[in-house]
């Protein structure tokens, strides 16, 4: 029983990482239907941004890195949408290959600029150490990531529910033609959706520097998990992504405890596939009389 309780905060912090890496993808993949293989590399770009800033800014670089990584990854995403993806909407296979190609190019670029070996970002002093939660010693960096994930979800939720830009985004996703007929510049909304989704990937990248090294392959390591969360949650549903991240995080935490890390990953994957056989629409499905 004590062991079960012990794994609780660990599961939560895994869930937080999953949520951070998947949040941006709920926009580009979930909302816009672009199988965005480059999402992982936007995470990597965020991580390298944190690495560069630690040299340039020092001390509080982590806090500076969050908004800067959002901007850098976000602008890259916007550029990708504007230059390539917008020509391929409604052609999922083409965008998959396209974004996969972009992801390979970005990885190679990272290798050329930063070298193939991993680099390390040193956590600031205030993130070293830990607190006791439910009798378990929880590292500060895990607490920080959990809080960051909660903050991002809250921000995104408010953006979608309350701000005019979020309303426009939902309108375009629900009915593109009708949105255009309502006077909405749909192309501009697409660009801002990509900016937001990719920017969130950048933020996730900064967070990941706190739990591991940074390398050109960072994105490849996380991209499958990100897609799993979005698909299991129900495409484009924020609440679904949160639920799925929590479920997968806890499942992973407990399985890791009983088996080992790599077997746990496989089992989680199998569990998601099995779940989708029973409920293909994911945890949170769309409601309403018609989708028209």
Q: Cα–Cα distance between 52 and 61 in angstroms, integer?
A: 9
From 57, 170, 212, 265, residue interacting with other proteins (rule: CB under 8 A):
170
**Residue carrying the six token digits 């967070």:** 207
By CB under 8 A, tell whether 55 contacts other proteins.
no
Interface mask toward other proteins for 146-165; x: CB under 8 A? ------------------x-
Q: Which is nearer to other proteins, 125 or 291 (CB)?
A: 291
- Residue of 48, 43, 45, 11 whose CA lies nearest to 25: 43
State which of residues 5, 116, 154, 286 lies at the interface with other proteins (CB under 8 A).
Answer: 286
- Residues 6 or more apart in contact with residue 175 via CB below 8 angstroms: 292
Restricting to residues 245-284, which ones interact with other proteins according to CB under 8 A? Answer: none
Closest by CA position to 211, among listed 6, 4, 10, 8: 10
**CB atoms closer than 10 angstroms to residue 174:** 14
Our finding on whether 90 is near other proteins (CB under 8 A) is: no
Residue 177 binds to other proteins (criterion: CB under 8 A): yes
Give the x/- contact pattern for other proteins in 187-216, rule: CB under 8 A: x-----------------------------
The kind and range of the H/E element at 266 are helix 261-278
- DSSP, collapsed to helix, strand or coil, labels residue 163 as coil
Verify binding: residue 287, other proteins, rule CB under 8 A. yes
> Which residues fall within 8 angstroms of residue 157, CB to CB, at 6 or more apart?
238
Choice from 108, 118, 182, 259 touching other proteins (CB under 8 A): 182
Q: Using CB under 8 A, which of 175, 258, 259, 263 touches other proteins?
A: 175
Residues within the interface to other proteins (CB under 8 A): 164, 167-168, 170-171, 174-175, 177-187, 286-292
């Amino acid at each position: 029983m004590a062991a079960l309780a012990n794994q609780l905060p660990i599961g939560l912090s895994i869930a937080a990482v999953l949520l951070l890496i998947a949040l941006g993808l709920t926009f580009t993949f979930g909302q816009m239907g672009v199988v965005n293989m480059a999402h992982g590399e936007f995470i990597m770009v965020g991580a390298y941004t944190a690495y560069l800033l630690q040299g340039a800014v020092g001390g509080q670089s982590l806090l500076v890195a969050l908004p800067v990584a959002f901007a850098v990854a976000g602008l890259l995403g916007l550029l990708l949408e504007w230059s390539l993806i917008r020509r391929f909407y409604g052609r999922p296979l083409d965008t998959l290959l396209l974004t996969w190609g972009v992801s390979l190019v970005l990885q190679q670029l990272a290798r050329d600029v930063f070298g193939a070996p991993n680099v390390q970002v040193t956590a600031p002093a205030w993130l070293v150490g830990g607190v006791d939660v439910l009798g378990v010693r929880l590292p500060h960096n895990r607490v920080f990531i959990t809080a960051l994930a909660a903050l991002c979800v809250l921000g995104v939720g408010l953006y979608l529910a309350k701000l005019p830009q979020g309303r426009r985004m939902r309108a375009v996703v629900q009915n593109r033609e009708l949105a255009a007929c309502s006077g909405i510049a749909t192309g501009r909304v697409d660009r801002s959706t990509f900016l937001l989704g990719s920017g969130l990937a950048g933020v996730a990248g900064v967070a990941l520097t706190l739990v591991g090294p940074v390398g050109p392959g960072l994105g490849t390591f996380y991209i499958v998990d990100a897609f799993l969360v979005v698909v299991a949650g129900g495409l484009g549903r924020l609440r679904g992504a949160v639920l799925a991240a929590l479920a997968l995080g806890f499942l992973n935490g407990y399985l890791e405890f009983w088996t080992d890390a790599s077997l746990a990953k496989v089992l989680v994957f199998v569990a998601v596939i099995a779940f989708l056989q029973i409920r293909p629409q994911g945890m949170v499905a769309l409601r309403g009389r018609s989708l028209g």
